[in-house]
Chain A
Amino acid sequence: MTLLVNGTPVSVEPGSMVSAAVAGLCRESVSGEPRGPLCGIGICFECRVTVNGRPHSRACQTPCEEGMEIAVASAVEQPLSRQPLSPRLRATYDVVVIGAGPAGLAASVRAAECGARVAIVDDNPHPGGQIWRAVQSVPRPEASRWLRAAERHKVDRIAGARVFAAPAPNWLALETSDGGRELKYGRLILATGARERFLPFPGWTLPNVMGAGGLQALVKSGLPIAGKQLVIAGSGPLLLAVAKYMRRHGAQVRLIAEQAGRQSLARFAIGLAAHPAKLLQALELRASLFGIPYLTSCWPIAAHGRGKLESVTLQQAAKTWTVPCDYLACGFGLVPNIELAVLLGCQVERGAVAIDEYQQTSVPGVYCAGESTGIGGVDLALVEGEIAGYAAAGALARAGKRFAERRRHRRFAARLEQAFALRDELKYLPQDATLVCRCEDVAFGRIRDCGGWREAKLHTRCGMGPCQGRVCGSAVEFLLGWQAESVRPPAFPVRVGSLIDTGSIL
């Protein structure tokens, strides 16, 4: 498949995202710095390109099409030519599920099994969420089972759609690349998943410094990685999974830097004995990582390079040293995506959506399942999704039968959280000149003395760009203890025209 990138033909594998076609090209940030993708999953807006004349399009969420014209330019762009839009669609469902990852798929299948008419909405062009990303080209038996079940039960899939407003009770407004939709629901299940937590350190804005899950998502979307030198850093089991995946795809993983200490991991490993399946997974992972140094109490303190990453300086105890590499894949745990829940008025506790035993939020009729209720991994997400699906369809007895399994997975999640808790030393990584807000290029020194998130936003523009604070918000929450503000529509950047259309719902 061939696309035109800045006027030059570029060939990509069919099924690739535009991010693969523009690999190696940098856009310019608002202050003229070179930038590449960070999150790989449509959150950070660092991969914005102009697609067929439409500026500010996310390369990582846009499937390649033959003959597509792509321009990689700056964060400021000329207005686009007018785009033809399809007429808006309006539909009513018993149950609408937001998010087609494990929790959302399980929820949609269970609700549909009980006879509910169900739609599942996802920002990504393909189902599977992040853990089962690109399931169409990377087969996963468990994912395929759920996908087939969803098809069998006639769950309507609405892909490439962003929910940006709840303009009236039981109504959601969605935007797709070619228009908009309005969905009316009886019950709503939020399965919006999680994103990586990125922590700022000198050089973290260099192209090719990206999320650990972010790099994996980009490789799944067609970014060539064979033969590249990688350093993987941050925290959590995701680092191991990413290392395994990258090695299988021909990358040379130099080392894994885990910020958690050896003791805390040892306690965690002993605890795995109570979860035989997890222990097996851990052993398999370890075997497949054979030869890759796994350094604990170790973290990056600076990334270096001219125009793009060339090396990273790591610290372990009193020792610091520099490792040359092509990519630094760096994620400090996961953060629940709660924006839509907050927009709907759902209560939040400790950064996750608060739920009752049937996965119902504080708003009656609105359920939440998976990572958005707290980070717990795929097994917990699946069982939570099943419970939410059953409960939303009124099958409370069937939901209740899954409580015991959920309890077991939750215990594991709690151990995980404890083992990989972020250490305080990481709060001192950013220097005054280190950018915190990558949308507006706001340095840490400008926000450090602000009295809170709102003051920082008003006086420095921190968090005021298109990612709406999703990247810097979870960083400053850790660095400075600031809590995010309320969420207003649009919960995601959308066309002004889409906001106009919400007025006609009432």
Chain B
Amino acid sequence: MGQSCDVAIAGAGIVGAACAMECAAAGLRVVVVEPGPIGGGATAAGMGHIVVMDDSPAQMALTYYSRTLWRELAAELPPEVEYVEAGTIWVAADSDEMAEVHRKKRVCDGIGVRTEVLDSQALAEAEPNLRRNLAGGLLVPEDAVIYPPCAALHFMDTARRLGTILRAGETAVALSGQGLSLRDGTLLSAGITVDATGAWAAGVRKRKGHLVITDRYPGFVRHQLAELGYLKSAHSTTEDSVAFNVQPRRTGQVLIGSSRQFGAEDSAIDTPILARMLARAREYMPGIADLLAIRSWTGFRAATRDKLPLIGPSAHDPRLYLATGHEGLGITTSLATAKLVVDRILGRPSAIPCEPYLPGREREAQS
């Protein structure tokens, strides 16, 4: 059967672009279909935090593996990707959250992720604009921040240099193991089809988020800061929630998050939730109220029930792969996702077990 390519990828967000780059590097013929700008969906809407997360062992394995891949790649990333190992500080407000700091440290120690416990004073020295009476925090120094749209663009450019064809401005209206159907009726036949359309993929739910960015105030924030309450907020799968989560951009701008809403389909700014999100940030950093906000936006995370991404062949069609459902971790785990996808296509062993992320697991869990 004549196939136009080995792998057809729908979506050139950071996950689709990373998959294209890895497939092309493995010698596969790749076509990518993207209706909008590269990295223009959740990739552009997200924070660009490269972070080890320990919600579950599988999440930790994937994020740690992927962070390692980012660190290996760091030296060859162009400057506009703005890769900075700023480190994450998980901020503990009280003694309960300080206990969580120590638990988190033990988990990190267990797999070799470097961390450092900060007491109240060390936290104040590390981040002078945090409010004073906080209990402390956990510094994860090797976590990083990037500017994701340019990372996706770099991955896509790398893939194109290796022969990948980008069909920009075209939309895949139907995906199957045979390939992609475009809006104009063209069928792009492929050996493997990869659905990397993020929140628009089948089987995931949209989880809306808001962000605000300020004018340039270098040094106001030095690390990615997240409240440990963030875990409680991110865990909730029903209620709208906000959490203190701010990021220093290389430009000196401060990126302020975060909010999570289910059931919201409208991309407009939701004023009450935006205000709640910023008020939460002000609780932790009172001075943030005086910075000038220059822009706000929303985006849709692709969420799954068990908070793990869907990576690998779909349950009903072994040639239709999913690479979605990363929720808030798509930037971090894009590189590992791409590795797992290519390993599976080529039948190579993977660096970490792929089973926890296989799409079929959801069906099994339900039955």
Contacts and interface: CB of A to CB of B under 8 A. Distances in A.
Interface of A: 30, 55-56, 75-80, 82-83, 165, 167-168, 450-452, 454-455, 458-459, 464-466, 468, 488-490, 493-506
Given A76-B216, A489-B296, A499 B287 contact: no
Contacts of A499: 212, 274-275, 278, 293, 296
A496 B37 contact: no
A470 B364 CA distance: 53
B40 A503 contact: no
B279 A466 contact: no
B276 interface: yes
A488 B295 contact: yes
Interface string B254-288: 00100000000000110110111011011000111
28 contacts: A76-B216, A76-B217, A76-B251, A76-B252, A79-B220, A79-B290, A83-B290, A451-B168, A451-B169, A455-B37, A455-B38, A458-B37, A458-B39, A459-B38, A459-B39, A465-B294, A468-B295, A488-B295, A490-B293, A493-B294, A495-B289, A495-B292, A496-B278, A496-B282, A496-B292, A499-B274, A499-B293, A500-B289
Interface string B187-231: 000000000000000000000000010111111100000000000
Contacts of B279: 500, 503
B65 interface: no
Nearest to A465: B294
The 8 closest A-B pairs by CB, nearest first: A503-B275, A497-B289, A455-B37, A76-B216, A458-B149, A167-B271, A493-B292, A493-B294
A500 B282 contact: yes
B218 A76 contact: yes
Contacts of A78: 217-219
A459 B153 contact: yes
Contact of B37 (A451, A503, A504): A451
A167 B275 CA distance: 10
Contact of B215 (A168, A452, A493): A493
Contacts of B296: 488-490, 499
A494 B219 contact: no
Contacts of B256: 496
Contacts of B212: 496, 499
Given A78-B219, A79-B287, A451-B168, A494 B40 contact: no
Interface string B84-116: 000000000000000000000000000000000
Nearest to B281: A496
Contacts of B218: 76, 78
A76 B268 CA distance: 30
B292 A454 contact: no
Contacts of B288: 496
B53 to A, nearest CB: 26
A495 B290 CA distance: 5
Contacts of B153: 459
A450 B36 CA distance: 11
Contact of A504 (B275, B282, B289, B290): B275
B290 A468 contact: no
B44 A458 contact: yes
A488 B290 contact: no
B4 interface: no
A503 B274 contact: yes
Given A459-B39, A496-B212, A499-B296, 4 more contacts: A79-B219, A458-B37, A459-B149, A505-B271
Contacts of A454: 36-37, 40
Given A78-B219, A79-B220, A493 B293 contact: yes
Contact of B294 (A458, A466, A497): A466
B129 interface: yes
Contacts of A455: 36-38, 40
Which of B129, B275, B276 has the most chain A CB atoms closer than 10 A to its own CB? Answer: B275
A496 B169 contact: no
Contacts of B269: 488-489
Given A459-B37, A496-B289, A30 B275 contact: no
Contacts of A458: 37, 39-40, 44, 149
B290 A56 contact: no
B286 to A, nearest CB: 8
Contact of A468 (B80, B252, B272, B294): B294
Nearest to B273: A503
B291 interface: yes
